[in-house]
Amino acid sequence: KNHSNDLNQTTTTVNVTKGSLSSQQPLDDEKTTSPWPLPPSYKFWNHDKQTLELPANRSGIHDPPLSLEILNDIVGELMEITYNDTEPFPEFENCFQPNTHRTRDLVTKYRQLRNQETNASLSASFRPSYPVLNMGFPKCGSSTLWEFFKCTGLFASHNQQGFEMLDLADKGNLQPLGRSMRGRAQKAQGHFQMDSNFGKCAFPQIQLLDELHYEYPNATFVLNFRPIMDWIKSAKSHHGMASRWQDCRVPGLKCSNMVNTTKRIACDNFGIQRWWCSHVRHIRSFVKQYPSHELIELDLYNATESAAVLADLFQANASCWGHANENKKIHKGEGKRRKRVF
């Protein structure tokens, strides 16, 4: 399978019913029959080989393929790229840039739908579906997204509940995101950091992508982008995050520096960039397979456009978009060149 992604490719649009765009679904106790046997497929990921090794009775039987079967093909292609000393690595270039063409097409689509509606109250309802899920990595705008949606008056979560979600999925719960929340948070209209970055780590946006689709088949996905080397520098400086990734057992992540046993060392840049690239291609391919999900890709260093895009899509005030959780030390003296959001 070829899961490469053209930056200019536009995904298939979904027919929209007027006035019924909120796909935020209540927790459904009737969802008790799993489409997949236990344990979840992420349990069969071989982290040494970076391959999915499903047992014979579960391999090749899924149509469409499981999300990790898609990722298996993508990682296989990327693992064939050999290390070189160029930073960023040119072979990964199309993964490091947001598909702003597709995002602008999405803005145009909803503008046209609103313009065609004569009833003002119904016109305002034309927007991407809830919940909105941040599918990107930490230190790449999760706090900024969270603050934006809170500013618009929506209820948003930044709970980092990845381990709870994996535990629920391991037990056969078919609503790991909703059930991992407490109280009012179960009805959150946006979840902007699900992953947990300690110990073996938990990245539901990678490990439980099928389960998230099953729970919220119309959820809107968001991927934030920033210059790759800047993101890596930020991750390395944020409480040793990149060093902790060496201990993670997450599909797609294979650090090239794992030979030093005397001290914990950060994953090298090549391994981190390959992980980023595999994830971006994974999400794009999954959305192409399931066009009920709309994908918003944002350039964090183009704050004006990102603010305008979200304000237009969600009928909000562009001033809600701004800095959050910025590392002042890392970016000292750089603010004059461009406005940065994190």
What type of residue sits at position 323?
A: H
The confidence score (pLDDT) of residue 266 equals 58
Is the pLDDT score of 25 beyond 50? yes
Q: Name the DSSP class of 197.
A: -
Between 183 and 262, residue with greater pLDDT:
183
Range 76-79 contact pairs with CB under 8 angstroms and sequence separation of 24 or more: 76/51, 77/3, 77/4, 78/274, 78/277, 78/278, 79/50, 79/254, 79/274
Both tokens assigned to 293: 């999900």
Q: What are phi and psi of 83, to 5 degrees?
A: -65, 140
The confidence score (pLDDT) of residue 256 equals 64
What is the distance between the alpha carbons of residues 275 and 278, in angstroms, rounded to a whole number? 5
Q: Is the pTM of this model over 0.85?
A: no
Q: What are phi and psi of 313, to 5 degrees?
A: -65, -40
Evaluate whether 102 touches 9 at the Cβ level (below 8 Å): yes
The confidence score (pLDDT) of residue 165 equals 95
For 155-179, write each residue's pLDDT tens digit.
888 888 999 999 999 999 989 998 9
For 191-238, write each residue's pLDDT tens digit.
999 998 877 899 999 999 999 999 999 999 999 999 999 998 888 887
Confidence of residue 287 (pLDDT cuts 50, 70, 90): very high
What is the distance between the alpha carbons of residues 176 and 12, in angstroms, rounded to a whole number? 28
Strand-by-strand arrangement of the 156-157 sheet:
156-157, 190-191, 132-134, 220-225, 295-299
The confidence score (pLDDT) of residue 300 equals 92
What does each C-alpha distance from 7 to 44, 98, 104, 333, 334 come to in angstroms? 31, 7, 13, 32, 28
The confidence score (pLDDT) of residue 84 equals 65
- 46-60, 146-160, 188-202, 245-259: which has the minimum mean pLDDT? 245-259
| Percent of residues, the chain, with pLDDT higher than 70 | 78
The confidence score (pLDDT) of residue 336 equals 37
Confidence of residue 6 (pLDDT cuts 50, 70, 90): very low
What does each C-alpha distance from 315 to 104, 216, 265, 334 come to in angstroms? 15, 22, 45, 32
Between 96 and 334, residue with greater pLDDT:
96
Both tokens assigned to 340: 């940065």
